[in-house]
Amino acid sequence: MIVVKPLMRRQIPDVVALEREATAFPWTEKMYTDSLDAGYWGGGLCEGTQLLGVAMVSSGVGESHLLNMCIGLDQQGRGLGRLLLRGACRRALEMGADKMFLEVRAGNGRAISLYRSVGFRQIGIRKDYYPGVLNREDAVCMALNLLECTLEC
């Protein structure tokens, strides 16, 4: 059974290893540790003891921000991103948020398609937001009304 569980500090090295395989610019252990220390919600998508993906969400004043989300490279294409996103949205609602915001690399078409499919709408572009291999990459800024989410949040 695949479930979203609270991310434990001891899982952070596994999270970083998973993300290093899946993306050219992964978060560091310090970024995850600092996020948990700040009280952000971290969710690990797990099948038994195997970590399949991770999401990090900050919430406050009725809003949430999906700071990071990653599915392991060998697990992509199974619909797990949608499952993890559903868990993140549920947690945001539990924390009193009615809107969720995120930034996604302009070149990450799969992620943008996933976010759009559940109701995220583009609200702007942040020029040169992300580091890139040769040049910096723009971020697409998106927002979702959690109360109208098509994920059955």
* pTM of the complete model: 0.94
Q: How many angstroms separate the CA atoms of 107 and 150, rounded?
A: 24
Q: Regarding the domain delimited by 2-148, which CATH topology (the fold level of the hierarchy) does it fall under?
A: Aminopeptidase (3.40.630)
Domain ranges of the chain: 2-148
- Of 103, 130, 137, 148, the catalytic one is 103
**Residue-level pLDDT at 148:** 82
152 is annotated as an active-site residue: no
The first and second tokens of residue 149, run together, are: 């989410």
pLDDT digits (tens, 9 = 90+) for 6-53: 999 999 999 999 999 999 999 999 999 999 999 999 999 999 999 999
Query: DSSP 3-state helix, strand, coil percentages of the chain (rounded to 5)?
Result: 35, 40, 25
- Of 94, 115, 130, 152, the catalytic one is 115
pLDDT digits (tens, 9 = 90+) for 49-89: 999 999 999 999 999 999 999 999 999 999 999 999 999 99
103 is annotated as an active-site residue: yes
